[in-house]
Each structure stands twice: as structure tokens, then as C-alpha cells.
Amino acid sequence: MAMQPVFQPNVDLVTVATIALLNPVVIGLGLWLGRQCDQPGKILIAGFGAGLAGMVLIWLAAWLRMPFIFEPGRAAAGIFVAQGVFGMMWAWIGFRFLRA
């Protein structure tokens, strides 16, 4: 007797974008790294670093089985890409408005 596949519900794109946009690690590190950039090209690296650090928080929250992260945590790749994009946005804001 063959086993039937178990289908899980899709993760909503709005949920992925909201988690990535409101991740406090991505916001804080993106602003700080953007402030430290001395060339506009480094904003890409700052955004990637902020997105990568934000994934540590997502992993920790999923490991602790926090209900608002545990289910969407299945879309970790999408969350990482979105956090990288939003990290670049926060880094640009830090580069443009927070530098001394």
C-alpha cells in the first residue's frame, strides 16, 4: 500500500513580506551598516548582511516554535530574499539620512 503525500498549506506572500519588513534585526543592522558605508556600492553588502543576521532570529523563533513564525518558517528561502531586499532599503536609509 503506497503512502499518500501530505500537502501543507501555502505560505502567504504578504506574511513573508511582513516578517521580512518588520524584523527588528534587519531594521537595526541595516540602518547601522548603512550608516557605516562610505560608498553607495557597499549598501548591497550591508543589506545582505542584515538579511543574513535576520535569518538567525527567524531560525531561533522557529526553533522555539513561536506560533507566528513556526508555520511561515517553511518559506525560509523567500524570507531570506525579502530580508535582503528590505535590508538594502534600510541600509540606503541609513546611508542617505543617518551619516554624519
Instruction: Give burial (CB, 10 Å; 0-12/13-18/19+) of 40.
Output: exposed
Domain extent listing, the chain:
21-97
CA distance 18 to 39: 29
Q: How many residues does the chain have?
A: 100
The pLDDT of residue 73 is 82
pTM comes to 0.88
C-alpha cell at 5: 503525500
The pLDDT of residue 27 is 97
pLDDT tier at 64, thresholds 50, 70, 90: very high
C-alpha cell at 93: 536609509
